[in-house]
Structure 1
Amino acid sequence: MKFAYKFSNLLGTVYRHGNLNFTPDGNSLISPVGNRITVFDLKNNKSETLPLATQYNVTCVGLSPDGNLAILVDEEGAALLVSLISKSVIHQFHFQKPVHSVCFSPNGKKFVVTKENVALMYHAPGKKREFNAFVLDTTYYGAYDETTCIDWTDDSKCFAVGSKDMSTWVFGAERWANLIYYALGGHKDAIVACFFEGNSLDLYTVSRDGALCVWQCDTELDGLKVRPPKDQTEDEAELAEGLDEELMEEQKGKEVHGKASTHKKKEKGKKVKYSCAAKYFFNKEGDFNTLTAAAYHKKIHLLVTGFVSGIFHLHELPEFNLIHSLSISDQRIASISINSTGDWIAFGCAGLGQLLVWEWQSESYVLKQQGHFNSMVSLAYSPDGQYLVTGGDDGKVKVWNTSSGFCFVTFTEHTSSISAVTFTTSGYVILSASLDGTVRAFDLHRYRNFRTFTSPRPTQFSCLAVDSSGEIVSAGSQDSFEVFVWSVQSGRLLDVLAGHEGPISSLCFNPVKCVLASASWDKTVRLWDMLDSWRTKETLALNSDVLAVAFRPDGNELAVASLDGQITFWDHENAVQTGSIVGRHDLQMGRKELDKITAKQSAKGKSFTTLCYSADGQCILAGGQSKFVCIYHVKEQMLIKKFEISCNLSLDAMEEYLDRRKMTEFGSMALIDEGTGDDDNVAIPLPGVKRGDMSSRSFKPEIRVTSLRFSPTGRSWAATTTEGLLIYSLDSSLVFDPYDLEIDITPSSIRKVLVQKEYTKAIVMSFRLNEKKLIQEVLETVPYNEIEVISSVLPEVYIEKMLEFLASSFETSRHLEFYLIWTQKLLMLHGCKLKTRSEKLLPTIQFLQKSIQRHFEDVSKLCDWNCYNMKYIMAISQQRGVKRTAEVSENEDLEDSNNDSVMEELPALP
């Protein structure tokens, strides 16, 4: 089995902190998620988290005008220059201080960074041949407090910087004679945003107290004069400019009159001046509402402002006409962005982890996504691997599409934290257990809670399992130490399994037999025979509290994780232990900021809390309160690979040793409680605390892995962590992995065989070379009427490889019918042979089923839509036909009546 799993996507978290950016075409949205960024393709309905990360949470993102480059800056001021085309890091740089905003000039030649009370202008990378990607051009001073925002003029000649000292500064990006800098006041609170009007030096400034100032400039952009060099006086510069103009006029054959008049000199010496044309207030009713974010579209003159209460306003400038005033939620709007066409507006709420894209003209949502408010606890794959379900501490059950990365349904019926979720074998029913004392069944056809299972006495359910038929569901209690069994069809409680002497920590049904394994803190694993009066079949005794159990996919082996850090393997039929793995040292714990002991000592008390077998049953995934996920080979009982889930130092327990720079003579700086805390930490207000009160507390989230699941297709695995729902998948396109390769098998020799129409030989050779593009070329050259003959003579060794290739091709290729014919012929001709190796081939078959099922759903939707359209067109044409016949009959009646009247008027013939 391959272990080249790489980070593929991040689900469950759509926005954390920082500014949102639309790509230049306006079809994609870039959102910072922790220490990564996610690109939401709104046109194709897909999301992708880039496989790169900063050391701390991303605070600001600067996007180049062409959309090819992005600058990511984290909390500590470390910057990454990223290529959005190759999705790789080009350059690293450190600004040494926290950065507030980054903004590229419209021509893409410069970019400005604001930190502390200065603005730094750099040469943009890629525009000049320079050794260093970040070359400092100019440093601008002026503000007396931290700078907050940047905006450029359309021709990149000037930029404005807002500050917390209630002033806005206009700086020249080049050496202008009549504009070096200009300071604008007029506000009574910190500046949130400043915007230039299109092709003008006119400016809008918005402050935190909800005030908008309109500033008019007496100079046009063309009126900015170039500053002369230091060794040249202004009179000489004017004379040189006048001579140049005279020469130009003479060349054109026109008369030249004297230009050097005193009036002209005065005009040239005039400096740029601003005047406040108007001042508007958003809080006209008198209720104070802090303004937190703003965005402006220069072409359609649309101003969007967001407030701390979740309300946002749309105004038309400069008249300040209110278009809309709506509310997203009761949480603070952290960031706003408008796309290039001005149709879509993106809102980010850090408190809820919410991301919205709103089409303001039609008043409809383009995107409405929200992660779990608190940490995710459990996850499960659907049988075909197409969907993922997650349960969180916020009591919500969310279903995610693995191909698009979007959540398409959220169930909110639970009133307390979710402890476990799972799919039934049909794939259309989700079961969830919660601490509110209920187990609920959700229907994915109608999106409703159709069954609720409860216990005779209220109890908190800590784990859940459903049998392979989908008829029996069981849940374990953590306070009554019992296992409850229900029927899914009737909803009746069938039995209560008692015998454990501690809280039930994990349940698992045997995939083949109707046997239930229950793990408990009483240091035992009990096996219950569901078909024989619910009696205990066997009791497995361990040396420590049991935290997790998992059956192998073939049902012949049981893995058990205990509190002493061991994973033990059992032959449950004979109650014999077959092996064990000591994984405590592989967890490699980190030291928390407030820990009194070292990480090495802390790791002695840690263990694996979640287990999962791989799709073929050869390996096992294990994770716990650590940033590492371990893959062990079961037979060899050895560690194969460790995956580092996160490198985000903004989370707790990430570093092995304490940072001495954060230590004072009184202890760690983390002990100092700063009241409401920073935006990075999670705020926990005390009961009865009002907004902004110093009594609220905050904490630093700790890195941990709460649940692990392998995809039934065997191509990926997922983990619920503090960061979100991480998916790791096989990227086979970058791996050269030949099979039984010989020296004479080359691309040229394969193409020669293909020209000779020896298709079977060419297919075998291409699979031995194992290059995906070459295999695709060979298969698509085969005539469709010869597929059956070639499939019948294809060696049995290559059938599995062929099916796996077809399954992966369905995801990208447009030749749907052609590959379906290949699949049908292979399964029809070799089905009997494949049955003997069904266990090993199961992941491949499920991968194939997932790909075909996805196409089936898409095509069936399209066909239904076309059927409805055809019916509508037929109905409209029939209506028109009836109208036409009615009109024709009316016209014929009129003609007949006219003919009759004419006959009456004619005189009778003699």
Structure 2
Amino acid sequence: MKFSYRFSNLLGTVYRRGNLNFTHDGNSVISPVGNRVTVFDLKNNKSDTLPLATRYNIKCVGLSPDGRLAIVVDEGGSALLVSLVSRAVLHHFHFKGSVHSVSFSPDGRRFVVTKGNIAQMYHAPGRKREFNAFVLDKTYFGPYDETTCIDWTDDSRCFVVGSKDMSTWVFGAERWDNLIYYALGGHKDAIVACFFESNSLDLYSLSQDGALCVWQCDTPPEGLRLKAPSGWKADLLRREEEDEEDEDRDTETTIRGKATPAEEEKQGKVKYSRLAKYFFNKEGDFNSLTAAAYHKKIRLLVTGFASGIFHLHELPEFNLIHSLSISDQSISSVAINSSGDWIAFGCSGLGQLLVWEWQSESYVLKQQGHFNSMVTLAYSPDGQYIVTGGDDGKVKVWNTLSGFCFVTFTEHSSGVTGVTFTATGYVIVTSSMDGTVRAFDLHRYRNFRTFTSPRPTQFSCVAVDSSGEIVSAGAQDSFEIFVWSMQTGRLLDVLSGHEGPVSGLCFNPVKSILASASWDKTVRLWDMFDSWRTKETLALTSDALAVSFRPDGAELAVATLNSQITFWDPENAVQTGSIEGRHDLKTGRKELDKVTAKHSAKGKAFTTLCYSADGQSILAGGMSKFVCIYHVREQILMKRFEISCNLSLDAMEEFLNRRKMTEFGNLALIDEDAGQEDGIAIPLPGVKKGDMSSRHFKPEIRVTSLHFSPTGRCWAATTTEGLLIYSLDAQMLFDPFELDTSITPGRVREALRQREFTRAILMAFRLSEDKLVQEALESVPRGEIEVVSSSLPELYVEKVLEFLASSFEVSHHLEFYLTWTQKLLMLHGQKLKSRAGQLLPVVQFLQKSIQQHLDNLSKLCDWNRYNIQYALAVSKQRGMKRSLELPGSEEEAEVSEDDSLYLLGAGDGDTHEEGMLG
């Protein structure tokens, strides 16, 4: 089995903090999620996380005008120049300080960053290769407090910067003679946003107290004059011009924009005047303005407030178009797409991302992760869905293909501790600390069963047998295991015998045996058919934290508190091996730890286990940033995955930070941000503004649950950052199979020309290049597929099936590949049965791909069937009506058929659009 799993996607977290951006075409939203960047494609209904990560949480993202480049800046001031086309990091840079915002000029030649109380303008990277991509051009001083926002004029001649000192500063990007800088006042609170009008120097400024000032400039952008050079530059220019021209020149002519004194008096400096000042309707003291965006073409202003309300205004008349409350907490970021139809809102308090179509007043996208950390997850049997449970009591179901959550169950009133699918894949069973075990139906999206115990208890884990008839849950306080019937919902039995909290349950996939792990240092095996008796008791050296059966049921793995993983033969109750994982955990050091990371690792252990689809390896994770994959038979570490490099999380540092250690104690004990809440200064006690109880803390990195996909192509982990998906690298990878010097791409194509299809397919698979394999398979005529399939060796049948399964997801030749699949399974089915265990992941991968097409086609066929029925009913009604008026007309029948075809086409179009917007 290959171990080249790479980070593929991040689900469960859609927005953390920072600014949202729409792509150049306006169809996708770029959202910063912790120290990663996720792109939500709204047209194709997909989400994709870029394969890059910063050292700290991302604070701002700047997008180039053509949408090809992005500058991603984290809290520490480190920046990444990212190509959104190739999804690669092009350049690393450090701004030597905390950056608040970054913005490209409309011509794409410069960008400005606000850092502290200054603004710095850099030359943007161009199409030519450069040794240093970021070259500092100018530094602009003016504000006395931190700068907050930037906006450019359409011609890239000037930019405006807002500040917390209630002032707005207009700077020239060039050395203009009549505009060096201009400071604007008029506000009584920190500036949140400032915007230039289209093709003008007129601007709007918005402050935190909900005030909007309209400023008019007496000079058009074309009226800006370049300042004449002085000193040695002027002398150098004068010498060059003297060399070029030998004629006498008049001393009063202009030199590169240098005007005569008389002209300067006439033209004068740029001046601003305030035309109007408007106030937003305030609802209480907490409704301060937190975010704003402006669309210059349609003059639409969107403002978000701390109460979760947003307003749409038309400027400069300040006409209110729309007002709506979309959240319970403050709106952190607002963005408008290029066409002005969609508005994106980010709420960092709840982790919400909303895209609103304001003209039709409908949601295009509405996603929210778990409010607290995720605790547990499970894959559906076909690998299409992932269900997660969190401390917030919510159960969410995610589509692995699109990356979106499509249903949320909120029936639990306390934290969810366990989730699992039944064998059919249409029922989810969950356990919770609220004392209930619930079953949810994925057809009707409802809670159809609620299992309870005779006396209130807290359930710590849940398991369902392979038939889906028996549900069991372990108690944390009464140390008992409760067993219910799925059909009737009745309590069948209470299994007692453990002397400590039950930490894990797992059913044998083949037999009706239940394994229960407990803190009493034992694992008990219960026979579900033989009077619910204890079949065996496995004695351990430490408290058991997790238990898992191998997919074939012939082996049992147990994780214990002393960082060991022990393997048992459940039939004979004999230990077959053990793995010492203490040194592989590599736990980090917390900020307040007084012991080293090496010593604190002694108290850490693996808390979750999962076998791979073929049973040859096992995944293990716990209170660490590492996930380890071990080979079971050899009992060695195969690979270790670092799930996060985000230093904004706790327990990430390997060594003690001596700079925080002072004679008065650790500086980490001082909450530096306690005096501010989202930029709002908390006033004296008794003043109703701000939350005196709000404190900032760093969540600790940990892995709470792991699960392999049934297809074996990927695995998922619930972590502090969210739901991480790791999959086999889909990029081109040279991994040949039984290769020798006589096999080349040229030989493969030569065999295809000679119509030796079997030999060409075998050589293509030995080279193991996807493009070449696809060319070889698609060159086989449809009538000869059966002959070629029968001549393939058994070893290559598995490889062809695996390639077909991966091709179903991207190829349009659906019928052709289905024919291949059918012939291979019909001709080699009996031979493959002997290796059913090894082939199970491939078959499940194949089933997942075919099931996806079945779901899409069945929806389309249902729509077409209903539309045809409707069209026929309408045509019959019209035919009957016209037959009464003009009997015997043949033309009317033709018209009614055309009408039915037209209606059918319209129905297909509506279905497609609804599917895209999801």
Q: TM-score, normalised by structure 1?
A: 0.92
Displacement after TM superposition at 1:413 (Å): 0.4
- Residue 770 of structure 2 is matched in structure 1 by 772
Secondary structure of the residue aligned to 2:603 is: coil
After superposition, what is the alpha-carbon deviation per residue over 1:838-889, rounded to whole angstroms, capped at 9, x for unaligned? 0000000000000000111111112222223333333444444455445548
Distance 2:549 2:675 in 1: 44
Asked whether the 8 Å contact 2:286–2:689 carries over to 1, the reply is no
After superposition, what is the alpha-carbon deviation per residue over 1:352-409, rounded to whole angstroms, capped at 9, x for unaligned? 0000000000011110000000000000000011100000000000000011100000
Structure 2 vs 1, CA of residues 577 and 144 (structure 1 numbering), >3 Å: closer, same or farther? Answer: same
- Residue 502 of structure 2 is matched in structure 1 by 504
Deviates more, 1:545-554 or 1:127-136: 127-136
Displacement after TM superposition at 1:332 (Å): 0.6
- Residue 47 of structure 1 is matched in structure 2 by 47
After superposition, what is the alpha-carbon deviation per residue over 1:522-570, rounded to whole angstroms, capped at 9, x for unaligned? 1000000000010000000111111000000000000011111111000
Structure 2 vs 1, CA of residues 126 and 843 (structure 1 numbering), >3 Å: closer, same or farther? Answer: same
Q: Partner letter of residue 638 of structure 2?
A: I
Structure 2 vs 1, CA of residues 671 and 195 (structure 1 numbering), >3 Å: closer, same or farther? Answer: same
Q: Partner letter of residue 331 of structure 2?
A: I
2:322 to 321, 324, 340: 324
| Structure 1 position 567 matched with structure 2 position 560 | no
Distance 2:771 2:678 in 1: 45
Distance 1:869 1:118 in 2: 63
Distance 1:125 1:481 in 2: 64
- Residue 429 of structure 2 is matched in structure 1 by 431
Displacement after TM superposition at 1:263 (Å): 12
- Residue 719 of structure 1 is matched in structure 2 by 717
Distance 1:887 1:298 in 2: 58
Asked whether the 8 Å contact 1:390–1:399 carries over to 2, the reply is yes
Structure 2 vs 1, CA of residues 284 and 618 (structure 1 numbering), >3 Å: closer, same or farther? Answer: closer
- Residue 390 of structure 1 is matched in structure 2 by 388
Distance 2:528 2:497 in 1: 15
Structure 2 vs 1, CA of residues 518 and 890 (structure 1 numbering), >3 Å: closer, same or farther? Answer: closer
1:667 to 658, 665, 668: 665
- Residue 253 of structure 2 is matched in structure 1 by none
- Residue 206 of structure 1 is matched in structure 2 by 206
Secondary structure of the residue aligned to 2:526 is: strand
Secondary structure of the residue aligned to 2:509 is: coil
Structure 2 vs 1, CA of residues 712 and 652 (structure 1 numbering), >3 Å: closer, same or farther? Answer: same
Displacement after TM superposition at 1:666 (Å): 1.5
- Residue 7 of structure 2 is matched in structure 1 by 7
1:342 to 340, 353, 359: 340
Secondary structure of the residue aligned to 2:859 is: helix
Structure 2 vs 1, CA of residues 219 and 128 (structure 1 numbering), >3 Å: closer, same or farther? Answer: farther
- Residue 905 of structure 1 is matched in structure 2 by none
Distance 1:379 1:285 in 2: 41
Distance 2:282 2:9 in 1: 45
Structure 2 vs 1, CA of residues 680 and 610 (structure 1 numbering), >3 Å: closer, same or farther? Answer: farther
Within 5 A, what are the aligned runs for 1:751-770?
751-770=749-768
2:378 to 377, 380, 394: 380
Displacement after TM superposition at 1:330 (Å): 1.3
Secondary structure of the residue aligned to 1:779 is: helix
Asked whether the 8 Å contact 2:210–2:282 carries over to 1, the reply is no
Q: Could you list the runs of 5+ residues in structure 1 that have no partner in the other structure?
A: 245-259, 682-687, 892-910
Number of corresponding residues: 864
Displacement after TM superposition at 1:176 (Å): 1.3
Distance 1:697 1:270 in 2: 52
| Structure 1 position 177 matched with structure 2 position 177 | yes
| Structure 1 position 228 matched with structure 2 position 222 | no
Q: Partner letter of residue 312 of structure 2?
A: L
Displacement after TM superposition at 1:287 (Å): 5.5
- Residue 24 of structure 2 is matched in structure 1 by 24
| Structure 1 position 783 matched with structure 2 position 781 | yes
Structure 2 vs 1, CA of residues 446 and 113 (structure 1 numbering), >3 Å: closer, same or farther? Answer: same
Asked whether the 8 Å contact 1:11–1:405 carries over to 2, the reply is yes
- Residue 448 of structure 1 is matched in structure 2 by 446
- Residue 166 of structure 1 is matched in structure 2 by 166
The structure number with the bigger radius of gyration is 1
Secondary structure of the residue aligned to 2:696 is: strand
Secondary structure of the residue aligned to 1:733 is: coil
Distance 2:116 2:697 in 1: 26
Structure 2 vs 1, CA of residues 185 and 890 (structure 1 numbering), >3 Å: closer, same or farther? Answer: farther
Distance 1:743 1:62 in 2: 50
Distance 2:626 2:459 in 1: 28
Q: Partner letter of residue 477 of structure 1?
A: A
Distance 1:476 1:678 in 2: 44
- Residue 306 of structure 1 is matched in structure 2 by 304
Distance 2:689 2:596 in 1: 38
Distance 2:703 2:675 in 1: 25
Q: Partner letter of residue 751 of structure 2?
A: V
Distance 1:811 1:559 in 2: 34
After superposition, what is the alpha-carbon deviation per residue over 1:685-722, rounded to whole angstroms, capped at 9, x for unaligned? xxx99762333333210000000000000000000000
Distance 1:35 1:72 in 2: 10
Distance 2:761 2:378 in 1: 37
- Residue 252 of structure 1 is matched in structure 2 by none
Q: Partner letter of residue 365 of structure 1?
A: Y
- Residue 843 of structure 2 is matched in structure 1 by 845
After superposition, what is the alpha-carbon deviation per residue over 1:442-463, rounded to whole angstroms, capped at 9, x for unaligned? 0000000010000000000000
- Residue 146 of structure 2 is matched in structure 1 by 146
Q: Partner letter of residue 111 of structure 1?
A: F
Distance 1:784 1:156 in 2: 60
Asked whether the 8 Å contact 2:286–2:307 carries over to 1, the reply is no
Structure 2 vs 1, CA of residues 204 and 680 (structure 1 numbering), >3 Å: closer, same or farther? Answer: closer
Displacement after TM superposition at 1:656 (Å): 1.2
Secondary structure of the residue aligned to 2:552 is: coil
Structure 2 vs 1, CA of residues 233 and 580 (structure 1 numbering), >3 Å: closer, same or farther? Answer: closer
Structure 2 vs 1, CA of residues 5 and 288 (structure 1 numbering), >3 Å: closer, same or farther? Answer: closer
- Residue 547 of structure 2 is matched in structure 1 by 549
- Residue 269 of structure 1 is matched in structure 2 by 267
Distance 1:605 1:591 in 2: 12
Distance 2:609 2:201 in 1: 62
Distance 1:798 1:276 in 2: 78
Displacement after TM superposition at 1:289 (Å): 1.5
Distance 1:782 1:536 in 2: 58
Within 5 A, what are the aligned runs for 1:452-471?
452-471=450-469
After superposition, what is the alpha-carbon deviation per residue over 1:184-243, rounded to whole angstroms, capped at 9, x for unaligned? 110000000000111111101010000000111111111111222225999x99xx9xxx
1:591 to 586, 589, 592: 589
Structure 2 vs 1, CA of residues 489 and 135 (structure 1 numbering), >3 Å: closer, same or farther? Answer: same
Secondary structure of the residue aligned to 1:206 is: strand
Secondary structure of the residue aligned to 1:835 is: helix
Asked whether the 8 Å contact 2:75–2:99 carries over to 1, the reply is yes
Asked whether the 8 Å contact 1:689–1:696 carries over to 2, the reply is no
Asked whether the 8 Å contact 1:675–1:694 carries over to 2, the reply is no
Asked whether the 8 Å contact 1:17–1:680 carries over to 2, the reply is no
Distance 1:130 1:264 in 2: 45
Displacement after TM superposition at 1:88 (Å): 1.1
Deviates more, 1:731-740 or 1:721-730: 731-740
Secondary structure of the residue aligned to 1:789 is: helix
Asked whether the 8 Å contact 2:677–2:694 carries over to 1, the reply is no
Q: TM-score, normalised by structure 2?
A: 0.92
Displacement after TM superposition at 1:337 (Å): 0.3
Q: Partner letter of residue 165 of structure 1?
A: D
Deviates more, 1:31-40 or 1:787-796: 787-796
Identical positions, percent: 78
Within 5 A, what are the aligned runs for 1:863-878?
863-878=861-876
Distance 2:614 2:319 in 1: 64
| Structure 1 position 473 matched with structure 2 position 465 | no
Within 5 A, what are the aligned runs for 1:348-363?
348-363=346-361
Secondary structure of the residue aligned to 1:604 is: helix
Structure 2 vs 1, CA of residues 642 and 311 (structure 1 numbering), >3 Å: closer, same or farther? Answer: same
- Residue 73 of structure 2 is matched in structure 1 by 73
Secondary structure of the residue aligned to 1:556 is: coil
Asked whether the 8 Å contact 1:689–1:695 carries over to 2, the reply is no
Q: Partner letter of residue 508 of structure 1?
A: C
